[in-house]
Amino acid sequence: METVFITGSAGFIGFYVAKALLEQGYAVVGYDNLNDYYDISLKRMRINILERYGRFVFYEADICDMDGLEKAANAYSIDYVIHLAAQAGVRYSLTCPEKYIETNIVGTFHILELCRRHQIGYLMYASSSSVYGEAEEEKLRVDLKTDAPVSLYAATKKSDEVLVHTYCKNFGINGLGMRFFTVYGPLGRPDMAYWKFADKILCDEPIEVFNYGKQYRDFTYIDDLVDGVLGLFSYFKKLKKKGAYEIYNIGSGNPVELMTFIETIEEVIGKEARKVMCEKRIGDVEKTYADITEIQRVCAFYTKTHIKEGLERFYNWYREYNRKDA
């Protein structure tokens, strides 16, 4: 039985990826520090679900804790690493930059060192669409320059790409980066716009609409994103050449204007939002639009979930979650 080490396994994407791999028969070693960036009880809920699988073990520790990483790596024979732990959020990086440097850069360095020392030959990791910055091209291709990030979060993700590339070339690790576009769905992150909008609409509080609603996001439903991760994983594990480095976009390839997104949430909830139109925020880009040609070249990836269907699934879960929490 092959074993996958997943950092950030209590996070939104990490949970779903771990669950999918467990259902495919892999053993999963989960690793997460359960920080308080958002409600820890939601993170514990995800881990409790994963612990129902007999092939899942969990370590509560930080990726900057070398002793914790060594303990996990010494206890299990790890075949693959999927590194999804990160300090998320563009806005938070403006007020707490040190957390992003420590977790996203130093933490990734520790994961790379773990792979080098334990001769783990396959590392997949999460990057972000934010690395593209304010690209002039409409569609964001993986071969575009990514040397002008507009947020510290984006800068740390670009740094990760450079670090992984260097370790692949110097130490023969096979690395695969995944530039995630805006992910949404049940058991998601409370700091994300769709969750915040639902909270405020239901509480009859105004929502802030930045850039006067004139921005677009390539919203990607969580199940579709996980299909992309698993498709890349199946492709990646078959690579025989040492020191390979590849990077792919995982997005819907179908950007939605912010105002359309808000109108869809209003339709799903059945209540109109009170809107406050605001200027563009520091660190925001106007448009993300994933070119998914490259991922479709190596695996049968395509998105199946329309934005309204995805938001309906989120809202159905959200109502049940808040009912239990009441």
Q: Is the pLDDT of residue 325 over 60?
A: no
In angstroms, how far is CA 141 from the centroid of its own chain? 18
Q: Report the distance separating Cα 187 and Cα 173, nearest Å.
A: 33
- Return the pLDDT at 194: 95
Q: Report the distance separating Cα 273 and Cα 203, nearest Å.
A: 10
Structure tokens at 196: 């915040």
Those residues with Cβ within 8 angstroms of residue 120's Cβ, 6 or more apart along the chain or in another chain: 5, 73, 78, 79, 80, 81, 114, 173
Q: Report the distance separating Cα 207 and Cα 210, nearest Å.
A: 9
Those residues with Cβ within 8 angstroms of residue 35's Cβ, 6 or more apart along the chain or in another chain: none
Whole-model pTM: value is: 0.95
Structure tokens at 268: 């799903």
Site of tokens 């969580």 = 222
pLDDT tens across 91-126, in order?
788 888 999 999 999 999 999 999 999 999 999 999
- Return the pLDDT at 288: 84
Across the range 252-259, mean pLDDT stands at 93
Structure tokens at 187: 């058991």
Please report, for residues 21, 53, 270, the alpha-carbon distance to residue 138 in angstroms, rounded to integers and kept in the order given: 34, 43, 33
- Return the pLDDT at 286: 76
The mean predicted confidence, pLDDT, of the chain is 94
Please report, for residues 3, 125, 171, 235, 316, the alpha-carbon distance to residue 163 in angstroms, rounded to integers and kept in the order given: 24, 11, 12, 22, 40
| Contact (CB, 8 A) for 90 and 154 | yes
Q: Report the distance separating Cα 117 and Cα 111, nearest Å.
A: 10
- Residue 153 annotated among the catalytic residues of the structure: yes
Across the range 130-147, mean pLDDT stands at 91
Write down the domain spans for the chain.
3-185+218-253+289-300
Tell me which CATH code domain 3-185+218-253+289-300 carries: 3.40.50.720
Site of tokens 């990514």 = 146
Provide the 3-class DSSP secondary structure of residue 116: helix
Confidence of residue 324 (pLDDT cuts 50, 70, 90): low
- Return the pLDDT at 326: 45
Confidence of residue 213 (pLDDT cuts 50, 70, 90): confident
Confidence of residue 137 (pLDDT cuts 50, 70, 90): confident
Catalytic residue among 59, 122, 153, 221: 153
